[in-house]
Structure 1
């Protein structure tokens, strides 16, 4: 990534917002199990359990802050570029076997979501910085592959 504010695709935004909602709900539930200052802690097992729950709340707080920061950064960055592939770009590709597919380059990927390609995956790394008409080569678990960029955010070469 560029190091500056990065845009986010519509699908990436949806994934981040869903994760944020899930994290906030988990945090609320976990925080509700913590004892108040006036509540006495029982034996060492109770104390260890309390520390584990407090650590979980802290972990959730950290991830919530990270996702909120990413969403704020995306708001500052604005819409993804349409002249060069970057994080947040929607890219139409033609693979070497002739199959065509539209993917979104994202930071986050949802398990099972085929249309999201993370920026740090082999295909994502190959696509970052490419322009319409360029062919990229990348490695897959079954060997080398290639794809041609047909369009970025709607600027097609067809």
Structure 2
């Protein structure tokens, strides 16, 4: 990824919003099980209380990460049409002459077969590239190349 804040595609924003909602619901459920200052009874109760407190800390940390990514995505604005970045739509031409359009995202989405994650071999090869540039990347069948035909922002 680039050094600055990365834009979020609509699909990534929706996935993060769903995750944040789920995390907040789970956090509320865990918080409700914590004791209200009463000393737990036996060691098993103390261990359960400690485990729930640790889970609460993990949930709070992930909530902070997701909220931060959503803020970063909002601050980044629309994806660049000059160079490939997260949120870009990229038209590629492969060695056999076929062309394909892919979307660069951070989160895998089974509902979007054209999505390429930024940390995949093709995604890493495309980041920062402009129209006309060639990229090489690893596939299960070996290395292959493609030419970036065009770069567009994702609506």
How much has 1:82 moved relative to structure 2?
0.9
The 5 A counterparts of 1:20-59 are: 20-38=20-38, 40-59=39-58
Preserved CA contact (<8 Å) 1:136 1:148: yes
Secondary structure in 2 matching 1:57: helix
- TM-score, normalisation: structure 2: 0.85
Distance verdict in 2 for CA 1:27–1:94, change over 3 Å: farther
Alignment match, 2:17: 17
- TM-score, normalisation: structure 1: 0.84
Secondary structure in 1 matching 2:63: helix
Which stretches in structure 2 are left out of the alignment for 5+ residues?
Answer: none
Distance verdict in 2 for CA 1:20–1:81, change over 3 Å: same
Aligned residues: 153
Distance verdict in 2 for CA 1:106–1:36, change over 3 Å: same
Secondary structure in 2 matching 1:153: strand
Alignment match, 1:72: 71
Which stretches in structure 1 are left out of the alignment for 5+ residues?
Answer: none
Distance 2:54 2:112 in 1: 31
Preserved CA contact (<8 Å) 2:2 2:128: no
Preserved CA contact (<8 Å) 2:34 2:53: yes
Alignment match, 2:136: 137
The 5 A counterparts of 1:121-132 are: 121-132=120-131
Distance 1:96 1:47 in 2: 63
2:102 aligned with 1:103, yes or no?
yes
Distance 1:41 1:67 in 2: 33
